[in-house]
Protein backbone atom coordinates (compact mmCIF):
# COMPACT_ATOMS: atom_id res chain seq x y z
CA UNK A 1 0.00 0.00 0.00
CA UNK A 2 0.87 3.67 -0.08
CA UNK A 3 3.66 4.70 2.25
CA UNK A 4 4.64 8.20 3.30
CA UNK A 5 7.91 8.61 5.13
CA UNK A 6 8.43 11.61 7.39
CA UNK A 7 11.66 12.68 9.07
CA UNK A 8 12.71 13.46 11.68
CA UNK A 9 10.35 11.76 14.12
CA UNK A 10 11.20 14.22 16.82
CA UNK A 11 13.41 17.25 17.16
CA UNK A 12 14.35 19.62 19.94
CA UNK A 13 15.69 22.99 18.94
CA UNK A 14 16.52 26.31 20.49
CA UNK A 15 14.35 29.37 20.04
CA UNK A 16 15.29 31.32 16.98
CA UNK A 17 16.63 28.40 14.98
CA UNK A 18 15.04 26.79 11.95
CA UNK A 19 13.92 23.21 11.56
CA UNK A 20 13.29 21.31 8.34
CA UNK A 21 10.87 18.41 8.15
CA UNK A 22 10.82 16.07 5.15
CA UNK A 23 7.90 14.16 3.75
CA UNK A 24 8.43 11.53 1.07
CA UNK A 25 6.00 9.34 -0.83
CA UNK A 26 7.86 6.07 -1.19
CA UNK A 27 5.90 4.08 -3.71
CA UNK A 28 3.73 6.60 -5.49
CA UNK A 29 3.94 10.07 -6.91
CA UNK A 30 2.21 12.83 -5.04
CA UNK A 31 1.56 16.05 -6.89
CA UNK A 32 -0.12 17.33 -3.77
CA UNK A 33 0.87 16.88 -0.18
CA UNK A 34 -0.67 18.33 2.93
CA UNK A 35 0.88 19.63 6.11
CA UNK A 36 -0.99 19.48 9.40
CA UNK A 37 -0.31 20.55 12.93
CA UNK A 38 -1.81 18.96 15.99
CA UNK A 39 -1.65 20.34 19.51
CA UNK A 40 -2.26 18.00 22.46
CA UNK A 41 -5.84 16.74 22.68
CA UNK A 42 -6.85 18.78 19.65
CA UNK A 43 -7.73 17.82 16.14
CA UNK A 44 -5.48 17.94 13.13
CA UNK A 45 -5.40 21.40 11.61
CA UNK A 46 -4.47 21.83 7.99
CA UNK A 47 -1.67 24.34 7.64
CA UNK A 48 -0.99 24.28 3.95
CA UNK A 49 -1.31 22.35 0.73
CA UNK A 50 1.94 21.68 -1.02
CA UNK A 51 1.86 21.55 -4.81
CA UNK A 52 4.69 20.10 -6.85
CA UNK A 53 6.37 22.73 -8.94
CA UNK A 54 4.33 25.64 -7.67
CA UNK A 55 3.71 27.69 -4.56
CA UNK A 56 2.02 26.18 -1.58
CA UNK A 57 -1.45 27.24 -0.56
CA UNK A 58 -1.66 28.31 3.06
CA UNK A 59 -4.68 28.20 5.30
CA UNK A 60 -5.92 31.37 6.88
CA UNK A 61 -3.83 32.39 9.85
CA UNK A 62 -0.75 30.39 8.85
CA UNK A 63 2.27 32.57 8.17
CA UNK A 64 3.84 31.55 4.89
CA UNK A 65 7.12 33.29 5.74
CA UNK A 66 7.39 31.33 8.95
CA UNK A 67 6.40 27.94 7.58
CA UNK A 68 8.28 27.54 4.32
CA UNK A 69 7.10 24.75 2.09
CA UNK A 70 9.01 23.37 -0.86
CA UNK A 71 7.66 20.64 -3.12
CA UNK A 72 10.43 20.27 -5.65
CA UNK A 73 9.67 16.75 -6.84
CA UNK A 74 6.76 14.37 -7.11
CA UNK A 75 7.95 12.44 -4.08
CA UNK A 76 9.29 15.06 -1.69
CA UNK A 77 7.84 17.99 0.19
CA UNK A 78 9.60 19.86 2.97
CA UNK A 79 8.33 22.11 5.71
CA UNK A 80 10.78 24.50 7.33
CA UNK A 81 9.80 26.16 10.56
CA UNK A 82 11.84 29.34 10.59
CA UNK A 83 12.86 31.25 13.70
CA UNK A 84 11.07 28.72 15.85
CA UNK A 85 9.52 29.76 19.15
CA UNK A 86 8.16 27.66 22.01
CA UNK A 87 4.60 28.20 20.78
CA UNK A 88 5.57 26.38 17.59
CA UNK A 89 6.09 23.22 19.60
CA UNK A 90 3.60 20.76 18.19
CA UNK A 91 3.10 17.55 16.29
CA UNK A 92 3.51 18.14 12.55
CA UNK A 93 2.15 15.56 10.14
CA UNK A 94 2.23 15.39 6.37
CA UNK A 95 -0.09 13.44 4.16
CA UNK A 96 -0.53 12.60 0.51
CA UNK A 97 -3.24 11.04 -1.53
CA UNK A 98 -2.55 7.94 -3.54
CA UNK A 99 -5.55 7.59 -5.81
CA UNK A 100 -4.82 3.93 -6.26
CA UNK A 101 -4.84 3.09 -2.56
CA UNK A 102 -8.27 2.61 -1.07
CA UNK A 103 -9.10 6.12 -2.21
CA UNK A 104 -7.78 7.54 1.03
CA UNK A 105 -4.98 9.65 2.35
CA UNK A 106 -1.79 8.28 3.79
CA UNK A 107 -0.01 10.05 6.61
CA UNK A 108 3.61 10.32 7.55
CA UNK A 109 4.50 9.19 11.05
CA UNK A 110 4.68 12.76 12.26
CA UNK A 111 7.36 14.99 13.71
CA UNK A 112 7.21 16.09 17.30
CA UNK A 113 8.86 19.49 17.52
CA UNK A 114 9.88 20.92 20.85
CA UNK A 115 11.31 24.42 20.91
CA UNK A 116 13.15 25.34 24.08
CA UNK B 1 -22.43 24.65 12.10
CA UNK B 2 -19.02 23.01 12.14
CA UNK B 3 -17.98 21.26 8.96
CA UNK B 4 -17.50 17.91 10.62
CA UNK B 5 -18.77 17.21 14.11
CA UNK B 6 -18.14 14.32 16.43
CA UNK B 7 -18.85 13.58 20.05
CA UNK B 8 -15.41 13.90 21.68
CA UNK B 9 -16.16 11.24 24.28
CA UNK B 10 -14.45 9.59 25.95
CA UNK B 11 -16.45 6.44 25.52
CA UNK B 12 -15.52 3.95 28.23
CA UNK B 13 -16.70 0.56 27.08
CA UNK B 14 -16.10 -2.90 28.55
CA UNK B 15 -14.22 -5.37 26.45
CA UNK B 16 -16.51 -7.40 24.23
CA UNK B 17 -19.19 -4.74 24.01
CA UNK B 18 -20.47 -3.05 20.88
CA UNK B 19 -19.88 0.65 20.47
CA UNK B 20 -21.13 3.10 17.85
CA UNK B 21 -19.94 6.56 16.86
CA UNK B 22 -21.74 9.11 14.77
CA UNK B 23 -20.39 12.00 12.81
CA UNK B 24 -22.29 14.79 11.08
CA UNK B 25 -21.10 16.90 8.18
CA UNK B 26 -22.36 20.22 6.88
CA UNK B 27 -21.54 20.15 3.17
CA UNK B 28 -24.27 18.22 1.40
CA UNK B 29 -22.12 18.04 -1.73
CA UNK B 30 -19.45 15.94 0.00
CA UNK B 31 -18.90 12.67 -1.76
CA UNK B 32 -16.20 10.76 0.07
CA UNK B 33 -16.05 9.80 3.70
CA UNK B 34 -13.55 7.93 5.81
CA UNK B 35 -12.92 6.75 9.32
CA UNK B 36 -9.37 7.05 10.58
CA UNK B 37 -7.89 5.78 13.79
CA UNK B 38 -5.26 7.70 15.70
CA UNK B 39 -3.32 6.30 18.60
CA UNK B 40 -1.78 8.63 21.14
CA UNK B 41 1.19 10.51 19.67
CA UNK B 42 0.89 8.66 16.40
CA UNK B 43 -0.27 9.58 12.93
CA UNK B 44 -3.84 8.83 11.80
CA UNK B 45 -4.30 5.60 9.91
CA UNK B 46 -7.09 4.80 7.52
CA UNK B 47 -9.54 2.41 9.10
CA UNK B 48 -12.08 2.26 6.33
CA UNK B 49 -13.76 4.22 3.61
CA UNK B 50 -17.50 4.73 3.89
CA UNK B 51 -19.64 3.82 0.93
CA UNK B 52 -23.22 4.74 0.23
CA UNK B 53 -24.39 1.19 0.58
CA UNK B 54 -22.58 0.73 3.87
CA UNK B 55 -19.60 -1.51 4.26
CA UNK B 56 -18.18 -3.96 6.71
CA UNK B 57 -14.64 -4.99 7.51
CA UNK B 58 -14.46 -7.67 10.14
CA UNK B 59 -15.77 -6.24 13.40
CA UNK B 60 -16.16 -2.78 11.90
CA UNK B 61 -19.21 -1.51 10.04
CA UNK B 62 -19.50 1.94 8.48
CA UNK B 63 -22.68 3.49 7.20
CA UNK B 64 -23.58 6.68 5.41
CA UNK B 65 -26.88 8.53 5.63
CA UNK B 66 -26.84 11.25 3.00
CA UNK B 67 -30.29 12.57 3.77
CA UNK B 68 -29.33 13.30 7.36
CA UNK B 69 -25.69 13.99 6.54
CA UNK B 70 -24.14 11.67 9.00
CA UNK B 71 -21.87 8.68 8.98
CA UNK B 72 -21.49 6.05 11.61
CA UNK B 73 -18.96 3.51 12.76
CA UNK B 74 -19.92 0.39 14.65
CA UNK B 75 -17.36 -1.76 16.44
CA UNK B 76 -18.50 -5.20 17.55
CA UNK B 77 -16.83 -7.43 20.11
CA UNK B 78 -14.50 -4.61 21.12
CA UNK B 79 -10.89 -5.42 22.02
CA UNK B 80 -8.50 -3.63 24.31
CA UNK B 81 -6.47 -2.78 21.22
CA UNK B 82 -9.42 -0.80 19.84
CA UNK B 83 -8.68 1.95 22.37
CA UNK B 84 -7.82 4.99 20.29
CA UNK B 85 -9.27 8.18 18.89
CA UNK B 86 -11.51 7.70 15.88
CA UNK B 87 -11.53 10.49 13.35
CA UNK B 88 -14.36 11.17 10.97
CA UNK B 89 -13.02 12.55 7.70
CA UNK B 90 -14.93 14.16 4.86
CA UNK B 91 -13.46 14.97 1.49
CA UNK B 92 -14.21 18.32 -0.11
CA UNK B 93 -13.62 17.18 -3.64
CA UNK B 94 -13.96 20.62 -5.14
CA UNK B 95 -10.84 21.76 -3.30
CA UNK B 96 -9.35 18.27 -2.94
CA UNK B 97 -9.14 18.97 0.76
CA UNK B 98 -9.93 16.65 3.60
CA UNK B 99 -11.72 17.90 6.66
CA UNK B 100 -11.24 16.18 9.97
CA UNK B 101 -13.57 15.90 12.85
CA UNK B 102 -12.00 16.41 16.25
CA UNK B 103 -12.22 12.74 16.96
CA UNK B 104 -13.96 10.51 19.45
CA UNK B 105 -11.85 8.91 22.15
CA UNK B 106 -12.58 5.30 22.93
CA UNK B 107 -11.31 3.46 25.98
CA UNK B 108 -11.93 -0.27 26.11
CA UNK B 109 -11.94 -1.46 29.69
CA UNK B 110 -10.74 -4.93 30.69
pLDDT of the residue at B94: 72
B8-42 pLDDT, tens per residue? 889 999 999 999 999 999 988 888 899 999 998 88
Q: Determine, for residues A112 and B34 on separate chains, whether the beta-carbon distance falls below 8 Å.
A: no
Strand partners, B59: none
Tell whether omega for the bond before B10 is within 30 degrees of 0, i.e. cis: yes
Q: B102, A102: Cβ pair inside 8 Å?
A: no
| Mean pLDDT score of chain A | 90
User: CA distances (Å), B19 to each of A43, A51, B85, in order?
Assistant: 21, 39, 13
Query: In which residue ranges of chain A is pLDDT below 50?
Result: none
Q: Nearest-CA neighbor of A76 among A18, A10, A5, A2?
A: A5
**Sheet-wide strand order for A4-7:** A4-7, A19-25, A76-81, A67-73
List CB contacts of A113: < 8 A, sequence separation 6 or more.
A10, A11, A13, A19, A21, A81, A84, A88, A89, A90, A91, A92
**Nearest C-alpha of chain B: how many angstroms from A28?**
17
Q: Which residues of B touch A110 (CB under 8 A)?
A: 41-43
Contact A107 B43 (CB under 8 A): yes
> What is the CA B62 to chain-centroid distance, rounded?
8
CA distance B55 to chain A (A): 13
Interface test with B, best of A45, A96, A104, A111 (most B CBs within 10 A): A104
Which among A44, A91, A102 is the nearest to B46, CB-wise? A102
What does the DSSP 8-state code read for residue B82?
G
Q: What share of chain B is helix, strand, coil (3-state, %, to 5)?
A: 5, 55, 40
pLDDT interval class at B51 (50, 70, 90): confident
B98/A contact by beta carbon, under 8 A: yes
pLDDT confidence of residue B92: 77
Q: What average pLDDT score do residues B61-71 get?
A: 93
Task: Name the percent of chain A in helix, strand, coil, to the closest 5.
Answer: 5, 50, 45
Amino acid sequence: GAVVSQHPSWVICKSGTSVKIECRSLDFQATTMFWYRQFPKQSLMLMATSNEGSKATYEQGVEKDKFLINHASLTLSTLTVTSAHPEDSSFYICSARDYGYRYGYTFGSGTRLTVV
Amino acid sequence: RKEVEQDPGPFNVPEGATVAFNCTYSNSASQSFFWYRQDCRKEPKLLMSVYSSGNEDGRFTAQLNRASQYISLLIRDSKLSDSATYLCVVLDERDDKIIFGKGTRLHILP
